[in-house]
Structure 1
Amino acid sequence: MATLTPDQRVAQLFMVAAYSNKTRIDEDSVSTLIQQYGIGGLIFFQGGPVRQSKLLNRYQSQAKVPLLVAMDAEWGLGMRLDSTTRFPYQMSMGGVRDTQLLYDMGQEIARQFKRTGMHVNFAPVVDVNNNAANPVIGYRSWGENRENVTAKSYQYMKGMQDAGVLAVAKHFPGHGDTDTDSHLALPLIRVDQRRLDTLEIFPFRNLMRRGLGGIMIAHLNIPALDSTGMPSTLSKPIVTGMVKQKMGFEGVVFTDAMNMKGVISKYPPGDADVRALIAGNDVLEFSKNIPLALKMVREAINRKELSQADIDARCRKVLALKQWAGLDHYKPIELKNLYQDLNTSHANYLTHKLSELSVTVLRNQKDLLPLQRLDTLRIATLTIGTRDTTDFQRMAADYATVHHYWLSATATLNELTQMRETLKPYNTLLIGINNLGRLPATNFGVTPETNILLRELTGQKQKVIVSVFGNAYAVAKIRDLERADAVVLAYQESKNAQDVTAEIIFGGISAVGKLPVSVTDRYTNGYGLVTKGGIRLSYGYPEDAGMNPNFELRVDSLMNQALAAKAFPGCEVLVARKGRVVLRKSYGTHSFADSPSQAGKPSRPVLNTDIYDLASVTKVSATLPSLMKLQDEGKFNPDMTMGQLFPEFVGTNKQDLKLRDVLTHQARLKAWIPFWQEYTRPKGFFNRLFGKRPAAATVSAKQPSEMSRRFFRPDSSGRFPLQVADDLWARKDFPNRIHKEIGESPLNEKPGYVYSDLSFIMYPAFVKAASGKPINQFVQDAIYKPLGATTMGYNPTYRFPLARIAPTEYDSLFRHTQLHGTVHDEGASLLGGVSGHAGMFGNANDLAKVVQMYAWNGRYGGQQLIKAETMAEYERCQFCPDNRRALGFDRPANNPSINSAKDASPRSFGHTGYTGTYFWVDPQYDLVVVMLSNRVNPTRRNNKISDLSVRSRLLQTAIEAVKSERPQVESTVPKEE
């Protein structure tokens, strides 16, 4: 203070606007104000975090007194900066009951402020929004109830200030009941002082008493407080008389932006600044003309309209604030890892959780939500207002088979009619109203065409669920919502809001949000229906499930090590705890960059929607659930014999083998039989048969055998219907031949555990005989369709583009081609890709649904798909300690790196697949771990996935991330209704 001249003390009271997305000329103009005039602070607006931090380091290096740095970041840095977290709007969170999360949000926003060198947040908005036509506050307010506004503002304020960032409540004395935007004109508040005192001022007074550090004065004309018509920012009766004297506020008083027309339309720059200081404001934000303002302030002091003593007192207050913010020990912003430090798992968790608790169900006729019996639904999604696939549509597709449609908000009558006809075959419509506006003047973006279409689609036999991704007040503008079967209000169009809406519709989570404002006579403040959740997987972050928030970073490290070692080209990892998917992430590419099959082309990055050959995981994701389902129907039990299941085995050495021994791999069956070797001919035949080799066969590889024309052809036909590979088809009697060879095969001489494929090759024949359906159809109807496991199935190229399927091996021994979309296992390929031991394809999300059904004792989506007692029988170890196996499932080995993890519980179970696939369930930790890879690309000789114990290390990492140290966790298994 003692080092500053009188003029420099005046300059400390000014904050100017700064941007990190403008030109060097703009940046230099701010530098001039810092160096030449010694301004006290900056308020940053648009740009990016790294650019802003570099610029702020420059500005701070030029300042004699460190700069006080602020931002209007009502919903976090993402309100102004790209690549940063955007928390929900305040109105979105107005109905959230858990105010502790708002405190946590304040703490996190403050942490991000400090990481980027900022000290003051012009938030929270404490205006009570009791005017639906408010053009400037609206969704920025917590709502219309003063106690609700106060309670939530306090938690947000306290969270920030406890973490060392000043909170500034705005816009005093209350901007909630206005119909004019103060950016454009001066709003008139037509209420008496008693109303102001009991409603608008109530939150401000409460926060002042509880430690509020800053307040922002609005540009308002309030005759009840100042009859002169002076904007409140320039009103001494309001700023000094009411705020400082009557209310006794001793914190820092900021003006609203001094470039807004609500003030400068009548009082030009310079004059407005002088009047603001005379009124009693401590800091002037966004002054338009600093040189002029400082000159006019000095003249006002000379005229004794202002006193230097008052200026000095305010300057001292600003310096004290800077000291409180740590600027007496100023350090430049560290740029290293800035992006990572801002975008943490904890920040993502908070914003997702707040969205989850916000979304509000307004209508739910006959408890339609959450949707039941997916196998009976024909679902279409229709997005009104955009032509792009939305996050809501993508999340809906993660739950069920859906078909997406789009329509402009201003569609023509012909387009509306055509869309109505297009949607007729569906019995369930998920309609999302997107791209809505924020302003009442635009009807909040709700168009007449939207209302016409909704009227045409509702009230029919179809079930219609309408989701509003926009302002709460938009609900009042959408006619005929009462004709819809369900209505969900998401408040905004963020990814989190859209994802959460889909999760509520499908029962991943419950709807618990409440309206913070009244939007119609029916939908009033506090209204909101509760729906049932936890019947299907939901999606969130480790903290949602009591796991270490750094879990993802640890998995990233593990997978990046595996990729660096070339254990596999790419993979997908999914980890769920308590039914919540806490990690779902893909790594790497479809093929190695130096793979011969790439021919110099860049390989496709792996996506979460990609599909993998599950190899032996087929046994426990297709065959085993089919057998369990048939057991529930009384058609199978593990104490039957192979002779009872397979008539052709009567009279053979397999007739009396008990299925309990077979399913635990101790029935003395051979491990496998290389069937294909009997149906090939010496080298050279392939050329004569096809005339030339496939392009992929130019890859250097040992090719000891080629196809016999008697059994293989390059084209399909009635005699050769079984696809073995691209342009290679097998004779239709191969299943009978293979079954016969299995029946004639010898048994192992010694009893004991030997993992075998042979019985699983046979089970599809039994499933068809017992159910009347081939196994691919039976498991689809009985398991996958009810689960919504849309990618699970055999022969994926019949249903999906090749680009979505991860390639496996270059088969140099049998098929002499790159395997892509056809099954890797040779025996399964001779069966047309449909077998009980291999052939299943799917993505991690859909396999996780099967696995979560196991974890939930056969229940999923509100249906008991497999009886709980059946699941219990199949999951338990049958012959421990001599044989670790359950019925079909694997159990922890003595060496845990083989299949599980050192801390896996004895109750855990799962399975591995030859192509690099894996899942494991640990009931003790309520964990499900899925990993899919194509480690056999380009060759099966790459066994680094096992050498590095990647899968067991993944499971161990997940177990270690579980925070609870209790040996048991509360069960999350859905109960019967």
Structure 2
Amino acid sequence: MKNIIGLFLVFAFAKAYPQQSINPLQTTDAQAQKIWVDSVYNSLSQKEKIGQLFMVDLFSNKDKAHVDRVRNLVKNHRIGGIIFSKGGPLQQAHLTNELQAASKTPMMIAMDAEWGLAMRLDSVYAFPWNMTLGATRTSTSSYAVGKRIGEHCKRLGVHMNFAPDVDINTNPDNPIIGNRSFGEDMENVTQKSFAFMKGMQSTGTLACAKHFPGHGDTDQDSHKTLPTVGFTAARIDSVELYPYRRLIDHGLASVMVAHLNIPSLEPRAGYPTSISKKVVTDLLKKRLNFQGLIFTDALNMKGASNFSKPGDIDLAAFKAGNDVLLISEDIPTAINKIAEAIAKGEITQERLEHSVRKILMAKYQVGLNNYSPVDTENLISDLHTQMDDMVYEFAMEQAITLLKNDKKILPIKNLETKKIAYVHLGDDSGDAFLKQLNKYTTVDRVEGNDIATLLRNLSKYNTVIVGAHRSNDNPWTSYKLSSKELSWLKAISKNHKVIVDLFVRPYMLDQLKDIKGMEAIVMSYQNSQWSQEISAQMIFGARDITGRLPVSSGNFKVGDGLELEGVKRLSYGATPASVGMDQSILNKIDSVAQFTIDKKGAPGMQILVARKGKVIFDKNYGGHTYGKDDPVMSEDIYDMASITKIMASLPMLMELEDRNVVNLDKPLSAYDEKYRNTNKSDITLKEMLSHYARLRPWIPFYRYTLDTLDATPLQQFYSKNRSYRYPIEVADHFYASNLVTDTIFHRIATSDLLERREYKYSDLPYYIVKDFLEDYYKKDLNELTQNHFYASLGMDHTGYLPLKRFPKNQIVPTENDTLFRRQQIQGYVHDQGAAMQGGIGGHAGLFSNANDVAKMMQMYLQKGSYGGKTYFSSETFDKFNYRYFADDEVRRGVGFDKPSLDDVGNTCNCTSDSSFGHSGFTGTYTWADPEEELIYVFLSNRVYPDANNRFIISENIRTNIQQIIYDSIIQ
């Protein structure tokens, strides 16, 4: 973990460019390096020395004939290296091992992997593009990405990555650079390139800056033609060469020379820079004093191959000063032509020795003096690690840019007043974006076959989020919206408050310059899953926005970007490592969950873990029932049972205590006159909610409404049909008289107290609290909790009476009640007492999912604030999260459960004393620990189909998982 933190801190010195050796190929053990280079060089024949100059392309996904061609070049022409192109990592590893074994001298293996091996290979990790990294305000993420890409290269046996692209992309119409550039500002490009280079070369993978002397300001593709750059030599020297100078002075291993026509540098008409002695030798080697390896760009590109015959272009490139001739069209012919030129005296032996020794020095530097084959075991998994996700998440969080925020529409606050729609534009998926938006509140996807229908469908929404999604496959795909989509966006912006989120390259902003009325514009750069998810989180203020535009486009200039501070909502992270937790340990939760399901301890469950305000584990297991096709989904809701106490009754009381309406030390008689002349008149709220008030643990109210002979419901209390006389819905076709409720509170008021004062958990306080709250506000607890908390917290999956809001198949069933309601309970509260109150109890009746429970618990961790709103003061929270009767062996706070005082029972005995939470009879549990900034939610229906199933209790399943969570904390 220290290395992870170091990864993000190491680049504070980026602007200083500390001086290093200007010979980037010389190692610290220079004498040993020289001995090895001399030994290898002297073992080579003249043709073999020339062969070292060549690097051939190899596609691991091509046919045998293609591979046989390379096998022949390795065996018979002793080429110096291979540049792998498209294919798969395992195929490439096997070919690398085979060809290295066949080579007399270990070969340099290279790739174009600017945004990772995924630039060429399938089944590997794709990191953010340079343009995205260029949007960050610091160079830390560029270093981190460069380092991870270098480590991936190293793992696959790749010694050199033709990256970073240091072109300063000042031409929006550049067809080949674009997103491959860090941007248009030369200082920003230099800082990011330098960081990327240092990160990658720290792994032992050599960097290669390209495309010298600068491919950023052209609208032509050198793969297809010879582009012309018409700048003066002075302009090129001051702008395009700026990053090269800095990188060369600080250890850049290699440079790739582009195929460009630059009349100010090479006066011969149509003469490519890649074979120009004025550019390669005079400018790069002499003026810039570059001593690293010099590569031509691919010699089969039309920018070079159109110029001369195979072999001739290679000879010209070598004469110009290049060391490595990349992807020659005819290597045998080229070797012969160079040999002939040496024999004729056109090229000196010293010139050949100069380049070959540099190549051998580079091979020593990457460890080819002690070559070992690529280990293919676990190769794929090693190229997809939690560190990769962590680096991607970090980079994307730093890059996303807010360009417009009229009337401070972002971050979205006051969710209770918002009705939000999402409109999708573009040809790629926005599903990850929409799913993440719905983690915060309900956001509906709205569509229409025509603009009139779309606007009509949007009429009931007061906020519209428009996502523009174009393909993330590669940087060259089209980024523009169609004229139809632009006209729709214009119409939507005219009629609604609109937040536009662009998952495209920033040059798309030019299309928006004439569209008015957009309240907010967010530039998210790429349509990757993490870009979509992080951007959605930023819209709701779960993360800060700090990016800045790396290029100018439309109405925006390079460097534009509004900083936006978040409002402390839960965010959702890539990996546990990002919050100091070990994913491999957390993954043990999977086996515990599966064990529980296999043993029929519960049909399924939702388990969520959040730390430091970030959800890093959120999984669903099993199904609603046993053996059926009803898998648990994140949107499914569970009967919370007694967690209702801390999610409904308690926050309402805390709010009133904060307003001085209630006082924990005042007696019940001060709040409810029905208790004034009872044995409960002097009980305080503090005593009652600490379960230290001598109240009976439980009163089986429902039993008093059943026939004493056969336990059938008595007709004076229940009916199968709703009517004026039987208005209370207890279950499906099961309605109760108001007499039931009156009986409940009469029995509570007249119930005996326990003989002695001791800790005794009881539901009765929450019947009393519910009665008080509803009487005070003249509204039921369902309406109160929605209006005061759930709506503004974005807890749209939380509430009483779930069948009124959710389809039945989204509600996880509980017990098959054979004693009272005599039916399978699904969508109705399991607890009989709460059911007799119409499903709205102070102690039970709430339904929710793990994500919503986590929001409430995070609000508690933040001591009363969440999403930019303060619900009650931190002082009030502290009053309720305190053990007032600990000296009397009462572990409870006021309403909150607390860790056991004797290390037995309700937690894993690893939680802090300040931690708090609650459990529920149906198999639910949630706990928060302020010291570790930790939230744990476990939801199950262990009572299905029988409430006598105590497996998760007897096996300590919930607290065993809690122990795993604490074991995973490494920092």
- The answer to whether TM tops 0.5 is yes
The one of 311, 317, 326 aligned to 1:276: 317
Q: Deviations over 1:933-973 (max 9, x none)?
A: 33444544554444554444554555565566xxxxxxxxx
- The amino acid across from 1:753 in the alignment is Y
Secondary structure of residue in 1 paired with 2:397: helix
> Does 2:324 match 1:318?
no
Q: What is the one-letter code of the residue matched to 1:491?
A: Y
Question: Which of 149-158 and 470-479 deviates more?
Answer: 470-479
Q: Which residue of 1 aligns with 2:431?
A: 390
What per-residue deviation string (whole Å, max 9, x for no partner) do you get for residues 403-423 of structure 1?
11247xxxxxx7112212221
User: What is the rounded CA distance, in whole Å, between the counterparts of 1:729 and 1:315 in structure 2?
Assistant: 92
Report the Cα distance in structure 2 between the residues aligned to 1:27 and 1:569, rounded to whole angstroms.
53
Equivalence for 2:765? 759
Q: Which residue of 1 aligns with 2:8?
A: none
Match of 1:904 among 898, 911, 929: 911
Counterpart of 2:794?
788
One-letter code aligned to 1:907 = S
Aligned pair partner of 1:739 in 730, 735, 745:
745
**What displacement does 1:431 show?**
1.4
Q: Which residue of 2 is the match for residue 49 of structure 1?
A: 89
1:761 shift after superposition: 3.3
Give TM-score scaled by structure 2 length: 0.88
- Give the Cα–Cα distance (whole angstroms) in 1 for the partners of residues 574 and 804 of structure 2: 35
Q: What's the CA shift string for 1:15-68, capped at 9, x where partnerless?
A: 333334445554555444444544333323334434443443444444443332
**Equivalent residues of 2:654, 2:872 under 8 A apart:** yes
Separation in 1, partners of 2:95, 2:802:
53
Query: 666-675 or 437-446, which moves further after superposition?
Result: 437-446
What SS does the corresponding residue of 1:794 show, helix, strand or coil?
Answer: coil
> Does structure 1 residue 612 correspond to structure 2 residue 638?
yes
Q: Does the CA-based 8 Å contact 2:229-2:262 persist in structure 1?
A: yes
Secondary structure of the 1:399 match is coil
Work out the CA distance in 1 between the residues paired with 2:813 and 2:47: 72
* Greater Cα shift, 816-825 or 920-929: 816-825
1:176 and 1:81 map into 2 onto residues whose CA distance is: 26
Does 2:512 align with 1:471?
A: no
Instruction: Note if 1:502 corresponds to 2:509.
Output: no
Kept in 1, the 8 Å contact 2:429–2:469? The answer is no
- Compute the RMSD of aligned alpha carbons: 3.1
Question: Residues 303 and 675 of structure 1: is their aligned pair in 2 closer, same or farther, counting only changes over 3 Å?
Answer: farther
2:290 corresponding residue in structure 1: 249
Within the alignment, does 1:866 sit opposite 2:892 as a pair?
Answer: no
SS at match of 2:587: helix
Aligned amino acid, residue 422 of structure 1: N
Report SS of the residue matched to 1:898.
Answer: coil
* Residue matched to 1:79: 119
5 Å matches for 1:881-960? 881-882=887-888, 883-896=890-903, 898-959=905-966
Take 1:614 and 1:555, find their aligned partners in 2: how far apart are those partners? 24
3-state SS in 2 of match to 1:764: helix
Instruction: Say whether the 8 Å CA contact 1:6–1:308 is kept in structure 2.
Output: no
From 547, 551, 571, the equivalent of 1:517 is 551
Q: State the alpha-carbon separation in 1 of the partners of residues 810 and 428 from structure 2.
A: 23
Aligned ranges 1:258-657 → 2 under 5 Å: 258-294=299-335, 296-298=337-339, 300-301=341-342, 305-306=346-347, 310-386=351-427, 388-406=429-447, 415-435=450-470, 444-460=479-495, 462-520=496-554, 522-541=555-574, 546-548=579-581, 550=582, 552-564=583-595, 566=599, 568-581=602-615, 583-590=616-623, 595=626, 598=627, 601-602=628-629, 604=631, 606-657=632-683
2:868 and 2:173 mapped to 1: Cα distance?
Answer: 43
Question: What is the CA deviation profile of residues 612-662 of structure 1, one whole-angstrom value per residue up to 9, with x for unaligned ones?
Answer: 222211110111112222334554333344445455545444344322211
Maintained 8 Å contact 1:897/1:952: no
Q: Deviations over 1:140-198 (max 9, x none)?
A: 11111212111111111011111100001110000111111112211101011111111
Query: Deviation string for 1:814-873 (max 9, x for gaps)?
Result: 556554443333333343432221222222221111111111121111111123332221
Give the whole-Å Cα distance in 1 for the aligned partners of 2:811 and 2:819: 22
With over 3 angstroms needed to count, the CA separation of the structure-2 counterparts of 1:444 and 1:344, relative to structure 1, is closer
Contact 1:135/1:439, CA 8 A, preserved across alignment? no
Matched residue pairs, number? 926
Alignment-derived partner of residue 694 in structure 2: 668
Give % identity.
39
CA separation in 2, counterparts of 1:610 and 1:29?
58
Once the two structures are superposed, residues 749-785 of structure 1 have per-residue CA deviations (whole angstroms, 9 ceiling, x without a partner) of 2321111112223433332221122111110110011
Question: 2:612 corresponds to which letter in structure 1?
Answer: K
- What whole-Å deviation, never above 9, does each CA across 1:93-138 have from its counterpart, x for those lacking one? 2132232332222222211211222111111111111222222112
Q: 1:826 to 1:322 in 2, by over 3 A?
A: farther
Report matched runs for 1:87-102 at 5 Å: 87-102=127-142
Q: Which residue of 1 aligns with 2:156?
A: 116
2:172 is the alignment partner of 1:141: no
Which deviates more from structure 2 when the two are superposed, residues 113-122 or residues 378-387?
A: 378-387
Give the aligned partner of residue 21 of structure 2.
none
- 1:125–1:141 contact (8 Å) kept in structure 2: yes
Unaligned runs of 5+ in 2: 1-39
Distance 1:713 1:18 in 2: 79
Matched, 1:856 2:856: no
Q: CA deviation at 1:708?
A: 6.3
Residues 791-825 of structure 1 deviation map (CA, whole Å, 9 limit, x = unaligned): 11123343334444444445555556554443333
Q: Secondary structure at the match of 1:91?
A: helix
Larger mean CA deviation between 942-951 and 224-233 belongs to 942-951
Residues 53 and 714 of structure 1, relative CA distance in 2, 3 Å threshold = farther
Shift in CA distance, 21/779, structure 1 to aligned 2, threshold 3 Å:
farther
Letter in 2 for 1:381: Y
State the one-letter code of the partner of 1:247. Answer: L
**Kept after mapping to 2: 8 A contact 1:127/1:171:** yes
Aligned-partner Cα distance in 2 for 1:332–1:347: 24
2:246 matched residue in structure 1? 206
Distance in 2, Cα, partners of 1:147 & 1:709: 84
Q: Rate the CA distance shift 1:459–1:8 in 2: closer, same or farther, 3 A.
A: same
Aligned residue in 2 for 1:8: 48
Match runs of 1:144-155 below 5 Å: 144-155=184-195
Q: CA deviation at 1:295?
A: 5.0
Aligned AA for 1:767?
A: L
CA positional deviation for 1:399:
1.3
Q: What 5-or-longer segments of structure 1 have no aligned partner?
A: 408-413, 686-704, 965-977
State the secondary structure of the residue aligned to 1:485: strand
In the other structure, the counterpart of 2:886 is: 880
Q: Which amino acid aligns with 2:369?
A: D
